[in-house]
Amino acid sequence: MAKIVAVLYPDPVDGYPPKYARDSIPVIDSYPDGQTAPKPEAVDFTPGELLGCVSGELGLRAFLESQGHILVVTSDKDGPDSAFERELPDADVVISQPFWPAYLTAERIAKAPQLKLAITAGIGSDHVDLNAAIKHGVTVAEATWSNSISVAEHTVMQVLALVRNYLPSHEWVTTKKGWNIADSVSRAYDLEGLTAGVIAAGRIGQAVLRRLKPFQVTLAYTDKHRLAPDIEEELGLQFYPDIPALARNVDVLCVHAPLVPETYQLFNEELIGTMRRGSYIVNTARGAIMDTGAVVRAIDSGQLAGYAGDVWYPQPPPADHPWRTMPHNGMTAHVAGSTLSAQARYAAGAREILEAWLAGKPIRDEYLIVDGGKLAGTGARSYTASGNGSSPGSTGL
Ligand code: NAD
């Protein structure tokens, strides 16, 4: 018998289940590189349902309880008196979504001697202290690809929203009941002809490049693994050897690198100061890649023309977080990867991982971040274990 603790975001304020806008979602069987979508033995939900909140339970309760396991679901995750902290000491498995991260710090992992598996329902396991997971033999696995395209679409939407000044223009006709054309267009440009750069051309970054190409922009990127020459040629990509070189040569910068020691607080005043005046940043990777105050100051001074994304730190951010109110922002809560379409895939992915682990079978290599006391699978390619014993995303900052 295993105890599984799932930390999920709170239910909708109007109650659960919500009234769904559509009756079904498309069936996606495989991803752009040929990897198959999650294939658990069965699922106990209808794809298209809201699964990522507490009442949605990722559709896991019937399956786990039918096998005699215990499932605890809570959204109460922060501080020493939280339900998460109370349930952790005898937990075998923790499931969390990056949207509502259950920060598995080194201290918390030390308090959970039975913990063997941390599942990220989604992508991005920086909320787990990976060094502590390595040290304590905890396997970390995520549902690779499950929401990559969801995030790429959100990124392109936010690029267009910023460059075309969409949100203020919408507000002029709705909240403000106006017809203020001059006010709306005073900051509106076409994307066509600009240079758009992507930091990290992994699953999401490459999908963003492919979606931006038809807008007839000049495309550029950097990544610690350079893409194959045929892909660079097909997309017409300019490669830059490092992030600073890319940042100073683009008009629009999209961030898709994981939060690792090299990217933690990378965008400070100095780096942003080297960018072209009036650049836009869209960051759907992780909030802690930015120095919060430096972004605010750059928006205020006009060095940045706009900032958007859906990632913050901590999550949830306080009511007075300056990105909520700074001008020219297109921020959303961390929702890009939690569309109903994505939830069906990552809930099935979480079940597939659990089915394998409970049966003592190997977890798919592409789902692994840490296994056997080292970075493994996707983790070995995309993550860096920090040498100083701290993992930036798991600090709860
Ligand atoms: P991926 O593993 O496919 O790609 C990551 C890429 O980053 C790899 O190509 C890797 O080489 C590159 N990289 C790593 N460190 C780098 C560095 N220091 N400099 C340059 N390149 C570096 O991952 P993905 O599926 O594309 O996801 C990327 C990130 O997006 C995740 O780690 C996560 O933080 C974030 N994400 C956000 C959401 C959301 O809802 N907003 C959802 C999913 C993922």
Cα angle: 86, vertex 373, 355; to 5 degrees: 65
Distance 363 CA to ligand 1 centre (A): 21
Could you tell me the pTM of the whole model?
Answer: 0.97
pLDDT of 390 reads 44
pLDDT of 274 reads 98
For residue 278, CA distances in Å to 98, 291, 301, 309, 376 come to 30, 18, 10, 17, 40
Ligand 1 atom closest to the Cα of residue 382 is 10
pLDDT of 394 reads 56
CA distance 372 to 89: 21
Same fold, 3-144+338-382 and 147-331: yes
CA distance 318 to 213: 37
Ligand 1 atom closest to the Cα of residue 263 is 18
Binding residues for NAD(+): 148, 203-204, 223, 284, 310, 382
Is there an atom of ligand 1 within 6 Å of 131 CB?
Answer: no
Residue of 69, 108, 154, 286 marked active site: 286
Distance 257 CA to ligand 1 centre (A): 4
Binding residues: 123, 147-148, 203-204, 223, 284, 310, 382
Superfamily covering domain 147-331: NAD(P)-binding Rossmann-like Domain (3.40.50.720)
Q: How far is CA 344 from the centre of its chain?
A: 16
What are the pLDDT tens digits along the chain (397 aa)?
999 999 999 999 999 999 999 999 999 999 999 999 999 999 999 999 999 999 999 999 999 999 999 999 999 999 999 999 999 999 999 999 999 999 999 999 999 999 999 999 999 999 999 999 999 999 999 999 999 999 999 999 999 999 999 999 999 999 999 999 999 999 999 999 999 999 999 999 999 999 999 999 999 999 999 999 999 999 999 999 999 999 999 999 999 999 999 999 999 999 999 999 999 999 999 999 999 999 999 999 999 999 999 999 999 999 999 999 999 999 999 999 999 999 999 999 999 999 999 999 999 999 999 999 999 999 999 998 764 444 555 544 3
Is there an atom of ligand 1 within 6 Å of 260 CB?
Answer: yes
Distance 279 CA to ligand 1 centre (A): 22
Per-domain residue ranges for the chain? 3-144+338-382, 147-331
Ligand 1 test: best mutation among 210, 224, 343, most atoms within 8 Å of CB? 224
Q: How far is CA 55 from the centre of its chain?
A: 22
Q: Is 286 a catalytic residue?
A: yes
pLDDT of 384 reads 87
Atom 2 of ligand 1: nearest residue by CA position? 382
**DSSP of 315-326, one letter per residue?**
SSPPTT-GGGTS
CA distance 214 to 197: 15
Q: With 0-12 CB in 10 A as exposed, 13-18 as middle and 19+ as buried, what is 54?
A: middle
Distance 162 CA to ligand 1 centre (A): 22
Is there an atom of ligand 1 within 6 Å of 123 CB?
Answer: yes
Distance 35 CA to ligand 1 centre (A): 17
Q: With 0-12 CB in 10 A as exposed, 13-18 as middle and 19+ as buried, what is 33?
A: exposed
CA distance 290 to 261: 13
Residues contacting residue 371 through CB under 8 Å, at least 6 positions apart: 139, 140, 141, 363, 377, 379
Ligand 1 atom closest to the Cα of residue 309 is 41
CATH level 3 topology of 3-144+338-382: Rossmann fold (3.40.50)
CA distance 202 to 345: 19
DSSP single-letter state for residue 104: B
Binding residues for substrate: 123, 147
